Structure 1
Amino acid sequence: MDIGQRLKEIRIQRGLSQRELATRAGLTNGTISLIEKDKTSPSVASLKSLLDAIPISMAEFFGSIEEPDTPKIFFRAGELTQVAPVGPGQVSLRQLGNARKHTLQVLHETYPPGADTGPEFLAHEGEEAGIITHGQIQLTVGDIVGVLNSGDGYIFDSRLPHRFRNIGTEPCKIVSALTPPVF
Structure 2
Amino acid sequence: MPPRKSQPRRREKAKPGDNLLIGAYLKHARLNQRRSLRQLSDEVGCSESFLSKVENDKLRPSLAMLHRIVSVLGVSIGKLFVAGNDADPSTLTVVRANNRPILKTGHMRAGTGITLESLVPMSTAVLLEANIHRVAPGGSSRGLIQHQGEEMGFVLEGRIELNVQGKKVTVNKGDTFFFQSHLKHGYRNPGKTEAQIVWINTPQSF
Instruction: With the length of structure 1 as denominator, give the TM-score of the two structures.
Output: 0.84
CA contact (8 A) 1:127 1:155 kept: yes
CA contact (8 A) 1:59 1:81 kept: no
Q: 1:2 to 1:103 in 2, by over 3 A?
A: closer
2:76 equivalent among 20, 44, 57 = 57
Answer 1 or 2: which has greater helix percent. 1
Instruction: State the Cα distance separating 1:5 from its structure 2 match.
Output: 5.4
Aligned CA distance change for structure 1 residues 74 and 153 (closer, same or farther; 3 Å): same
Partner of 1:111: 135
Offset, 1:158: 0.9
Task: List runs of 5+ in structure 1 lacking aligned partners.
Answer: none
Identical amino acids, percent of aligned pairs: 29
Q: Which runs of 5+ in 2 are unaligned?
A: 1-19
CA shift at 1:157, angstroms? 0.6
How far, CA to CA, are the matches of 1:25 and 1:112 in structure 2? Answer: 26
Distance 1:98 1:125, change over 3 A: same
The answer on whether the counterparts of 2:152 and 2:201 sit within 8 Å (CA) in structure 1 is yes
What is the SS of the residue equivalent to 2:190? coil
Check the 8 A contact 1:81/1:97 in 2, yes or no.
no
Pairing partner for 1:121 from 144, 148, 160 = 144
> What's the TM-score once normalised by structure 2's chain length?
0.76
Where 1:101 maps in the other structure, the secondary structure is coil
1:147 matched to 2:175? The reply is no
The DSSP-based 3-state class of the residue aligned with 2:197 is: strand
Alignment RMSD = 2.5
Partner of 1:72: 92
Q: CA deviation at 1:98?
A: 3.0
Match of 2:157 in 1: 134
